[in-house]
A and B are shown apart, each in its own frame.
Chain A
Amino acid sequence: MAILVGEKTRAIVQAITGSQGSYHSQLMLQYGTKIVAGVTPGREGTSVHGIPVFDTVEEAASRFQANASIIFVPAPHAKDAALEAITANLNPVVVITEGLPVKDEIQIMEVARLKGTTVIGPNTPGIITPGECKLGIMPSHIFKPGKVGLVSRSGTLTYEIAAGLTNAGLGQSTCLGIGGDPVVGLSFVSVLEMFRSDPETESVAMIGEIGGNAEEMAAEYIKSSHYPKPVAAYVAGRVAPPGKRMGHAGAIIMGRSGTADTKIEALRNAGVRVAMKPGEIAKLLK
C-alpha cells in the first residue's frame, strides 16, 4: 500500500445501481479493486455485477467488513450519502459527484474532521494505487506501479500527466485528485505529508490550477519543512481572466488572488521544479 488505498481496501459503492455507479463498479472490479457491496436505498436484495445491494451503508459495511466508500450519488443527495459513509466509520470516503452546494461540502468536511475521516473530493476522478486498488473513474491503462506520487485538482489533466510519466518509464505509487471545488476534503499540504512518510514514494508530481491558495500553502510547507523528496509541479490557467469560473467551481481568480503566476512564483521560491507544459513533468522527475 502506498497511501490511502491498497490491497487491504474493501470498498462499497454508493448509488451502485445508477448508470455511472454500475459502469465504474465493473471497471473497478476488473482492475482488481475489492468492491464488496453496494448501496442504493430501496434496492436491497438485488445485485449489480454479482455485488449485493443494500438499503443502508451500515448494513453493507458491517456484513462485508468494508473500510472505504466511493460515492456516485447525485448532488442533491450526496451530502446525506457522504455523512452516512462517515458515520459508518468508512475511511477514506471518495466523492466523485460534481456540483455539490458549498454549504453541503462545508458540513461534510466538518463532520469528517471530527471523526478523523479522509474525504477525497468532491468533484474528483478518485484515487488509484496502481496494481492494487482503484477507487475512481480514471482510465486504468495509463497508470503503472512505481515511485512517483501524483496529486491534482483536475481530472483529464491528471490522465495527461500520468500517461506522460508512464510513457517515460516512471510508474506511480498513488495518484489522486483532491477535487475541483472550493471546499474539498484534502489539501495539497496534507497529501504531501502522506507522501513524505510513504516509503513507496520517492518523488511527487503536483498539478494545480487557478483559484484559492492551496498551491501557495503547499509551497510554504515544502519550504518550511525542508521537504525531503523532489517535487515537480504544473499550474494550469495562466490565460484565465479574473472573475470567471474556468469549468471547475474552484477555478476562479478573485480580485488579485489565486492567479497562476503567483502560484508558480511561490512554488519556484520553494525549490519546486515547475513545468510550463504538462509534458515536461516527466522530464523534471527523471
Chain B
Amino acid sequence: MKLFEYEAKEIARQYALPVPTGLLASTPQEAKEAFQKINQPCVIKAQVLVAGRGKAGGIKSASTALEAFEAAKSIFSMTIRGERVTRVLVEQKLVSKHERYVSIVVDRPSRGYTILSSTAGGVDIEQTAEEHPERIIRHRIDPLMGLQEFEARIVAKKLGYSGKQMNQLTSIILKLCQIMDDYDAELIESNPLIETEDDELVAADLRILVDDNSLYRHPMFLERMKILEPDMTPLEAKARERGLAYIELDGYIGIIGNGAGLVMATLDMILDYNGTPANFCDVGGGASEERIASALEIVLSNPRVKVLLINIMGGITRCDDVARAILDVQKKTGISKPMVIRLVGTNEEEGRRILADAHIPSLNTMEDAAAKAVEIASKVK
C-alpha cells in the first residue's frame, strides 16, 4: 500500500526526521490559509499516488497567499494519470544547493533490505542507476543485526560527507531504517533529500510503500485502505474487499482462472490470438462456489466484456464443483454474455458432463479456448 506524501511526512515528524514545514489542504481557501500560517514562499503539491505529478503540472510555486489560492485551484481541477486530485500539501519552499538520494528497498537477489544512496538525486535517478551504477552507493542491512550507527556513518562518508553533516546524514539514514522496520515498509525513499543553503539536510520528498502482507500488524492502515483507494478502479476495490486478485485492463475478453501464473499465461495467449483481455482475475486454489460467483459478478460488471473465458486447471480444485458453481451463478444472475470454458484436471469428465447438459461447451486446451473466445468476441457487436 502506497502512502501519500503527507502521510509519510507525518510519520517522519514523529521520528524527528527533518521534513519541510507543511499543511494539508482540501480546498483553495484552505491552501490560502495554510500559506498564511507558514508565512513564506511555498510549493503546492498534488497529493496523488501515481508517479510523475511534477511533469503533469501537479507541483506549483506560490509567493503570495493569492498565488497559493490560484495554484491550488488549478491543481484541484486536475486528474493526474487517472487519479483525481482531492488534496494538496502546502509546503515551505526550500532552496536546495544539492539534491541527494536515499532509499531502503527489498533487494530480491540478496534476500535483504538494502540502502541505496547517491549524490545524484532528483528526477533522473533511474537513468543514473542504469548508466552510472558506480554513482549509487549500496549497503545491505544484516537482517539479524539490524542497521547499526557505524554502518549508516560509512554510507554517509561514502557519499562524501564529513563533520556535522556526516552526523546529520547518519541520523537520517538510521531514522529511515527505523521507520522501515516499524511500519513494515517494503520501500522508503527520499528523493530528493536536499542540502539547503544553510547546509541542513531535509527530506524534501518522502515515499513509503507498506507491505500489503503486513497490514494485519498495522490496523490503522486497514481502516485507511477502506476509505481511500485512489489508484484502483471501483471494480478493483470491490474485488480486493472480497479477496480476489483482479486487475482491470482495456480489452474486451473477460478472464477468470485459478492461479496467478496460469491467468497471466491465459492473458498472453489471448494476445497471441489477436484478442485483448479485459482483466486479470485469479480465484486462487481450491476456489469455492462463492469465490467463483464473486469473480463472475465482478468480471461481468465491466461493460467492455464481450466474452468470458474461464480457464481452470483442476488440481485440488475439482472440476465438477466449478461446473456446478458456474451453473448456479447462471441460474441466480442470468449471465447473458457468451462463455468459453476450459476445464481440465480432477473430475473433469463429470464437470464437462454437467456443463454439456446445460448446453455450455467446454474445451480441452488453453489454445483452443483462447482461439474460441477471440472468435466469438469478433462476432459480438
Contact = CB atoms under 8 A, between A and B. Distances in A.
A237 B367 CA distance: 16
A236 B266 CA distance: 9
A251 B213 contact: no
Interface stretch (A34-42, A179-187, A195-203): A179-187
B293 to A, nearest CB: 19
Contacts of A142: 315, 345
Interface string A89-126: 00000000001111101110111010000000000000
A103 B214 contact: yes
Contacts of A213: 108-109
A101 B214 contact: yes
Given A102-B211, A156-B258, A138 B106 contact: no
B345 A159 contact: yes
Interface in A142-164: 142, 152-160, 163
Nearest to A140: B315
Given A278-B265, A279-B365, A101 B260 contact: no
A251 B280 CA distance: 13
B108 A183 contact: yes
A206 to B, nearest CB: 13
A157 B285 CA distance: 12
Nearest to A208: B261
Nearest to B130: A256
B106 A183 contact: yes
Interface in B301-353: 313-316, 344-346
B261 A139 contact: no
B126 A255 contact: yes
Contact of B285 (A137, A160, A248, A250): A137
Contacts of A32: none
Interface string A230-256: 000010111111001111111100011
Given A109-B111, A241-B249, A279-B367, A137 B265 contact: no
B212 A249 contact: yes
Contacts of B247: 241, 244, 246
B261 A154 contact: yes
Interface in B231-261: 245, 247, 249, 257-261
A247 B282 contact: yes
A109 B110 CA distance: 10
Given A155-B259, A248-B260, A248-B261, A103 B268 contact: no
A207 interface: yes
Contacts of B144: 107, 110-111
A247 B113 contact: no
B376 to A, nearest CB: 19
A245 B263 CA distance: 13
Contacts of A163: 313, 344-345
Contacts of B264: 157, 209-210, 236-237, 239-240, 246-247, 251
Interface residues of B, number: 51
Given A103-B214, A156-B285, A236-B265, A251 B260 contact: yes
Interface stretch (B25-33, B87-95, B161-169, B269-277): B269-277
Contacts of A183: 106, 108, 111
Contacts of B344: 163
B363 interface: no
A101 B184 CA distance: 8
B109 A217 contact: yes
Interface residues of A, number: 61
Contact of B261 (A105, A138, A209, A239): A209
A157 B111 contact: no
B265 A157 contact: yes
A60 interface: no
B173 to A, nearest CB: 18
Given A110-B111, A183-B108, A247-B280, A153 B261 contact: yes
A187 B217 contact: no
B269 A155 contact: no
B186 interface: yes
B115 to A, nearest CB: 14
A76 interface: yes
B181 interface: yes
Contact of B313 (A75, A156, A247): A156
A154 B249 CA distance: 22
A130 interface: no
Contacts of B181: 103
A212 interface: yes
Nearest to B314: A139
A137 B213 contact: no
A229 interface: no
A277 interface: yes
A234 B269 CA distance: 12
B225 interface: no
B257 to A, nearest CB: 8
A221 to B, nearest CB: 12
Contacts of A154: 259-262
Contacts of B186: 102, 182
B341 to A, nearest CB: 16
A75 B260 CA distance: 19
Given A102-B213, A137-B285, A239-B268, A107 B260 contact: no
By Cβ-Cβ distance, the 4 closest A-B pairs, closest first, are A154-B261, A247-B260, A156-B259, A157-B261
Given A101-B213, A247-B245, 7 more contacts: A101-B184, A110-B144, A111-B144, A159-B345, A237-B267, A239-B268, A277-B367
18 contacts: A102-B184, A103-B211, A106-B112, A110-B144, A154-B262, A155-B315, A156-B259, A157-B265, A214-B108, A234-B265, A237-B264, A237-B267, A239-B277, A241-B249, A246-B280, A247-B261, A247-B282, A251-B260
